[in-house]
């Protein structure tokens, strides 16, 4: 084997691909800014942080709440299990290790309050992600903790609603077809993440600048959930056979990393797209055209000056 020739070919291939990438970035400025933003926000670190907080704070909170108020949070736990694609075996593997009576006895009301407060770290991780993406100052302290707790409470209620909505409209046995059901759920998720970004950013970013990221998060997140319901059960079963309950936890952590990547990536692309000059010019032109059409419609509806208005 000629190592020198192999090294030269590898070097030439690398330089060719590098030059092609630079040329692509030069021709598409928005792509260059997106790559710079990925480096600036530390994309991988943000995804790992959100996934870690979800595993260490969010999952215990759902387990404890399911033990204390099963009638209220049961649908939320089931909605999370369906989204993560745990399947019956994975869900039974987790629930089989949890005795609700034992959890209530050992946790108590004080432990429940501490668990809820600890779970706000998941919301704070998402808040810091949005603040880093939009390059605004972090708001912590009592006001930040209160806002994160209120968001977490609203998020749990929304999980309840999403679970009920999925059973109502989804699938061939639902009120509407599969395609329209996907659209309704995507719209619901988009509204959820639109409100989430505005609330956790304390209204410092206008609504219209958050809409692209919210729609991307809603659509891509729902697509990720649907794909997980097909692919994850096999992965969960394989991990469960090899590692038991630990394997289920590893599968959940993998799913959380993927969902965090969807969340961070969609929010980042949303900002880059909404601030791109070309996109803003197109949107401004569209809004101006819409305003002109509305003005012409109002003018046509207005009676002529020489004709009396109908009594």
78 Cβ neighbours under 8 A, 6+ residues apart: 91, 163
What is the separation, in whole angstroms, between the first and last Cα of the chain?
97
**pLDDT value, residue 269:** 92
**DSSP per residue over 114-169, as a string?**
HHHHHHHHHHHHHHHHHHHHHT-----HHHHHHHHHHHHHHHHHHHHHHHHHHHHH
- Contact assessment for residue 80 and residue 159, using Cβ atoms and an 8 Å cutoff: yes
pLDDT (average), residues 41-52:
90
The string of pLDDT tens digits covering residues 65-107 is 666 666 555 555 666 666 666 655 555 555 555 555 665 666 6
290 Cβ neighbours under 8 A, 6+ residues apart: none
The string of pLDDT tens digits covering residues 254-286 is 888 999 999 999 999 999 988 877 777 776 777
Lowest mean pLDDT segment, chosen from 7-21, 95-109, 147-161, 179-193: 95-109
pLDDT (average), residues 214-230:
88
Q: Is 302 helix (H, G, I), strand (E, B) or coil?
A: coil
Model confidence at 201, pLDDT cuts 50, 70, 90, reads very high
Model confidence at 311, pLDDT cuts 50, 70, 90, reads very low
Polymer length of the chain: 311
- The distance of Cα 23 from the centroid of its chain, to the nearest Å, equals 32
**pLDDT value, residue 129:** 93
Would you say residue 22 has pLDDT above 90?
no
Give the Cα separation of 197 and 200 in Å (integer): 5
């Amino acid at each position: 084997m000629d190592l020198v020739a192999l090294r030269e070919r590898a070097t030439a291939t690398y330089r060719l691909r590098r030059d092609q990438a630079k040329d692509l970035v030069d021709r598409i400025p928005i792509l260059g800014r997106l790559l710079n933003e990925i480096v600036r926000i530390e994309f991988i670190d943000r995804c790992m942080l959100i996934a870690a907080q979800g595993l260490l704070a969010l999952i215990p909170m759902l387990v404890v709440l399911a033990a204390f108020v099963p009638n209220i949070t049961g649908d939320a736990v089931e909605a999370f299990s369906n989204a993560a694609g745990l399947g019956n075996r994975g869900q039974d593997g987790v629930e089989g290790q949890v005795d609700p009576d034992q959890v209530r006895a050992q946790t108590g009301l004080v432990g429940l309050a501490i668990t809820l407060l600890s779970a706000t770290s998941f919301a704070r991780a998402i808040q810091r992600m949005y603040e880093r993406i939009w390059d605004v100052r972090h708001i912590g302290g009592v006001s930040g903790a209160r806002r994160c707790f209120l968001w977490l409470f609203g998020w749990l209620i929304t999980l309840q609603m999403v679970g009920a909505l999925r059973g109502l409209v989804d699938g061939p046995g639902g009120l509407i077809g599969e395609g329209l059901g996907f659209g309704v759920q995507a719209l619901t998720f988009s509204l959820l993440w639109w409100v989430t970004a505005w609330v956790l950013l304390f209204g410092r970013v206008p609504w219209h600048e958050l809409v692209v990221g919210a729609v991307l998060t809603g659509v891509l997140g729902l697509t990720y959930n649907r794909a997980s319901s097909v692919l994850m059960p096999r992965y969960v079963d394989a991990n469960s056979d090899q590692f038991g309950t630990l394997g289920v936890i590893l599968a959940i952590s993998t799913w959380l990393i993927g969902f965090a990547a969807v969340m961070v990536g969609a929010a980042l692309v949303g900002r880059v797209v909404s601030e791109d000059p070309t996109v803003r010019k197109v949107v401004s032109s569209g809004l101006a055209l819409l305003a002109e059409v509305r003005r012409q419609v109002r003018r046509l509806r207005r009676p002529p000056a020489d004709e009396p208005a109908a009594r």
